[in-house]
Amino acid sequence: MPNATAAVRSWCAGRATLPSHDGKLEGGLVLSGHTDVVPVDGQDWDTDPFKVHEANGRLFGRGVADMKGFIAVGLSLVPEFMRMKRKRPVHFALSFDEEIGCAGAPYMIEELRARGVKLDGCVVGEPSGMKVVVAHKGINMFRCRVHGKAAHSSLTDRGCNAIEHAASLICKIREIAESHKRQGPYDKAYDVPYTTLSTNQIQGGIAVNTIPELCEFTYEFRNLPGMNADALQEQIEAYIRQDLVPAMQAEHAAAGVEVSSSSRAPGLSAEEAAEITRLVRALTDDQETRKVAYGTEAGLFQSLGVPTVICGPGHIEQAHKANEFIDIEQLEECERFLRKMVATL
């Protein structure tokens, strides 16, 4: 992480900014990508995932689609960008720890906010097959620790069963999820057209004959961009405060529930009228309204007031899998796109 932090600092210090021809650093276009990749553990690769392998017009390797292809094309064009007579600067925003829930980029975003940096637009180069993606859901991940009291399982009255109380909360989360599924709000442009919630990991208990003292689980929700994620989380926390904790404390005064957020990233809902949206649409000749299920750093840039869209080479279907690949044609298309976009500036 020290290298990544240095990279963030250097970007904030303007060292990854290509100034305009008259030396301006303010405004301009951000090319955003994450430098981390997901692990290859347990995956059956035909070639070394960390050496690019070329075959049949494709490049194979971990991260070629998600999204080192975009970063490599962008960086390879730097000498050309430097020679262009540009009215506006071009910035590279390269983040770390995106794959664990957009954990790195917020440092950069906060630094930019604190410095009051103004930017005209941002393209996040996640693999979209060089099509324009204008929206994605928000990601909100939480860890929950339910503290009860251990006892011999024959003496249920003397304990406070952390697993059973955790189960009540998990059922509540499921109930909220069902209500979103039944009542919306809906956005038909998504595969799953409503806000989703789910519990995806759980641990607890030490023996079949012992009332468990501790149960830990993680849950997440993916909200439609127009929806208030804090209000949804408050709905869960209100249930914990008003129903769950009183019920637990009736059994054991010191019982309690801790909830902490492990990662959160806002959704994206791009402005169609923004210059960057119109420009990227024109250059890719793509007018379709595409909204995707996966989260990206685009919502973070938008939260800073920077108009942002997603457009990058390769396909998300190939990401995170064994034998991840990108068609060289996609990289060439990305190269033409970035060259034209920066020239238009």
d(C-alpha 267, C-alpha 194), whole Å:
13
The structure tokens listed for 188 are: 């038909």
Quick one: 66 or 220, whose CB is closer to Zn ion?
66
Question: Which of 36, 164, 216, 333 is an active site residue?
Answer: 36
Residues in Cβ contact with 157 at an 8 Å cutoff, skipping those fewer than 6 apart = none
Binding mask 117-156 for Zn ion (x = CB under 5 A): ---------x------------------------------
Cβ-defined contacts of 172-177 (< 8 Å, 24+): 172/236, 172/239, 172/244, 173/197, 173/198, 173/199, 173/219, 173/236, 174/199, 176/232, 176/235, 176/236, 177/221
Q: Nearest to residue 227, comparing CAs of 261, 275, 179?
A: 179
- The end-to-end CA distance of the chain, in Å, is 34
Quick one: 97 or 126, whose CB is closer to Zn ion?
126
Quick one: 67 or 146, whose CB is closer to Zn ion?
67
Q: Interface with Zn ion by CB under 5 A: which range of 6-14, 21-29, 35-43, 63-71? A: 63-71
Chain centre to alpha carbon of residue 214: 30
| Residue 318: CB minimum distance to Zn ion, A | 12
User: Residues binding Zn ion: what is the number (CB under 5 A)?
Assistant: 3
324 sits near Zn ion (criterion: CB under 5 A): no
Q: Which residue is nearest to Zn ion (CB)?
A: 66
Q: Interface with Zn ion by CB under 5 A: which range of 61-69, 227-235, 271-279, 324-332? A: 61-69
Quick one: 66 or 187, whose CB is closer to Zn ion?
66
Residue 269 DSSP SS3: strand
Residue 318 φ/ψ, nearest 5 degrees: -90, -10
Quick one: 67 or 309, whose CB is closer to Zn ion?
67
| Residue 270: CB minimum distance to Zn ion, A | 18
Q: Interface with Zn ion by CB under 5 A: which range of 2-10, 58-66, 147-155, 304-312? A: 58-66
Residue 210: beta bridge partners? 152
Burial zone of 33 (CB within 10 Å; 0-12 exposed, 13-18 middle, 19+ buried): buried
Quick one: 63 or 225, whose CB is closer to Zn ion?
63
| Residue 172: CB minimum distance to Zn ion, A | 32
| Residue 9: CB minimum distance to Zn ion, A | 22
| Residue 129: CB minimum distance to Zn ion, A | 14
Residue 265: beta bridge partners? 139
Of 64-83, binders to Zn ion (CB under 5 A) are 66-67
230 flagged as catalytic = no
| Residue 126: CB minimum distance to Zn ion, A | 5
Quick one: 213 or 297, whose CB is closer to Zn ion?
297
| Residue 310: CB minimum distance to Zn ion, A | 10
Residue 345: beta bridge partners? none
d(C-alpha 2, C-alpha 270), whole Å:
33
Evaluate whether 25 touches 17 at the Cβ level (below 8 Å): yes
Question: Which of 98, 126, 324, 327 is an active site residue?
Answer: 98
The residue type of 98 is E
120 flagged as catalytic = no
Contact residues for Zn ion, defined by CB under 5 A: 66-67, 126
Active-site positions read 36, 98
